[in-house]
Amino acid sequence: MTIVIAEPEEPVEPEENLVWRIVKVTPEIAEAFLSQASANRRLDLGQVRALAESILRGEWRLTHQGIAFDETGELLDGQHRLHAIIEANTPVEMLVFEGLPKDVFSVLDTGKRRSAADTLYSTGAKHLPLLSSTIRHVLLLKTMPNDRWSGARARVSNDRILAAYNEDKDRYEEAVTTGRELSKHLFASPTAAALGYFVTTEAAPAADIDEWISGLKSGASLDSGDARLALREVPRETQRRGSKRRMDMRNQVAIYIKAWNAWVEPGKAGELRLGRLRKGEKMPTPVELKFIR
């Protein structure tokens, strides 16, 4: 690849006082840097926790984004990264810039934040918004099934989403394709259907998945007690925006899993209730059905 850089009409001299270096920033150094802050933005604690968790998982990478001080020594950029180092109590390497003009503060971090779908773009996968949403919710279901999947605690880094995709890309792509199709016949959103499909087939690969899918799509010749028929009859209004009966993602997935469990093990299902999780009710766990070796 050839990169052509246009020459400026007038020579551009670098800032005389601008210096940069790679520093292993410890929690103690982070505290010292933060003591030099003055006009930084309001602290987003959710962003701090997300960065700290990324550090603790070993996902931190040295990039061009680091810490910046102006010519007077005041901290211009990097307060969330510094607070995250303190929160994680773990040192990381980052670039530290000193001597920036004070007037650059107004243009720092004004670009569009990279989304998870943007991160997955290089993989060549299809339906990127749905794919990234599905992976994010699979991770949330596995790590915090009984907590809300919104707010600061439910943030999932782009690195985690990309790593999860690379570990199981075929199954994620299959789940997205199936979820898009199932959502045409069920109350569930494409993400909820894809998520439900992913976690149930992961737990029960020996189940007759084709029969499950065909029954949900057509509804033909299903007995009145068939869990697939019950799932098809859940009102579609439960996922529409503005609907008083609209369900959040956790409840949609819980209903899908309950129906799947009742279909895989009808003798253990008892009375099938496909509704919102009751207060204090935990997310159901998909029934396991493994191949016998």
For the chain, give the percent of residues with pLDDT over 70: 84
pLDDT tens profile 48-86: 888 898 899 888 888 888 888 888 888 888 888 999 999
283 DSSP assignment? P
pLDDT at position 32 is 92
- CATH class given for the domain over 19-107: alpha beta
How many C-beta neighbours within 10 Å does residue 127 have? 18
pLDDT at position 6 is 43
Residue 69 parent element (H or E)? strand 67-70
pLDDT at position 70 is 86
CA distance 25 to 81: 10
**Roughly what angle, to the nearest 10 degrees, separates helices 79-88 and 45-56?**
50
pLDDT tens profile 81-114: 999 999 999 999 999 999 888 766 655 654 456 6
Which two tokens mark 48? 């701090």
**Roughly what angle, to the nearest 10 degrees, separates helices 27-34 and 79-88?**
150
Return the domain boundaries, the chain.
19-107, 116-269
